[in-house]
A and B are shown apart, each in its own frame.
Chain A
């Protein structure tokens, strides 16, 4: 079974600064996908970024980028130039490629607060 661990329940960052959220996972699969989702106070789950395990290059979406270390099973999210609207709960999630592994396994989340 896959597990996803987010060891930072809460973090804060000053507006315009950079922050990194940590995520580790455990799996026996060779190919899989990792995601970061954002959940603002509106409660809507929003996909932030996706990484395919077979790709060496780290994914980037505007101010959001990941540091994917496959051997270490680590998948951190870096937010650059933090904005007040980035305040949200952030969830790391994992999915495999085959059979019942198509479900998403989520971490417990990191509450990020961007301070003015």
Chain B
């Protein structure tokens, strides 16, 4: 299994409070991703990173920010949590080449269940 951990694994917070989720990898992979999973929607990309201090927005980035100050850590911050951000959050990493071609095979962390009351 790829070495990916997420912390915390569960969190309950109140509307309006800031929340930071951490993803840590031991694989030295270049690409890191944050997804949210909601019923009926599969996984949707929030933000991703293609290197230290290099990040870009995904499909559902409003209300979220990210930072990557070193290769192994990718932080997701909810500046002021809302009930619509109640979800399961997954981190993923990729650095997969096959026959010289980059194939973006992503490996996922265990997920963080966030509840915003």
Contact = CB atoms under 8 A, between A and B. Distances in A.
A47 B42 contact: no
Contact of A44 (B59, B103, B104, B108): B108
Given A43-B111, A45-B90, A103-B58, A108 B40 contact: yes
B104 A102 contact: yes
Contacts, number: 56
Given A45-B108, A97-B102, A102-B104, A109 B31 contact: no
Q: Which of B42, B90, B103 has the most CB of A within 10 A?
A: B42
Interface in B54-111: 56, 58-59, 88, 90, 92, 98, 101-108, 110-111
A35 B45 CA distance: 16
A23 to B, nearest CB: 11
A103 to B, nearest CB: 5
A33 interface: yes
B42 A106 contact: yes
B51 to A, nearest CB: 13
Given A43-B88, A91-B42, A104 B103 contact: no
A103 B45 contact: yes
A109 B38 CA distance: 11
Contact of A50 (B43, B48, B92, B103): B103
Contacts of B88: 43
A66 to B, nearest CB: 15
A8 to B, nearest CB: 13
17 contacts: A33-B104, A33-B105, A37-B108, A44-B110, A45-B92, A45-B111, A52-B98, A91-B42, A97-B102, A102-B48, A103-B33, A103-B58, A104-B43, A104-B106, A106-B43, A106-B44, A107-B42
Interface of A: 4, 33, 35, 37, 43-45, 47, 50, 52, 91, 95, 97, 100, 102-104, 106-109
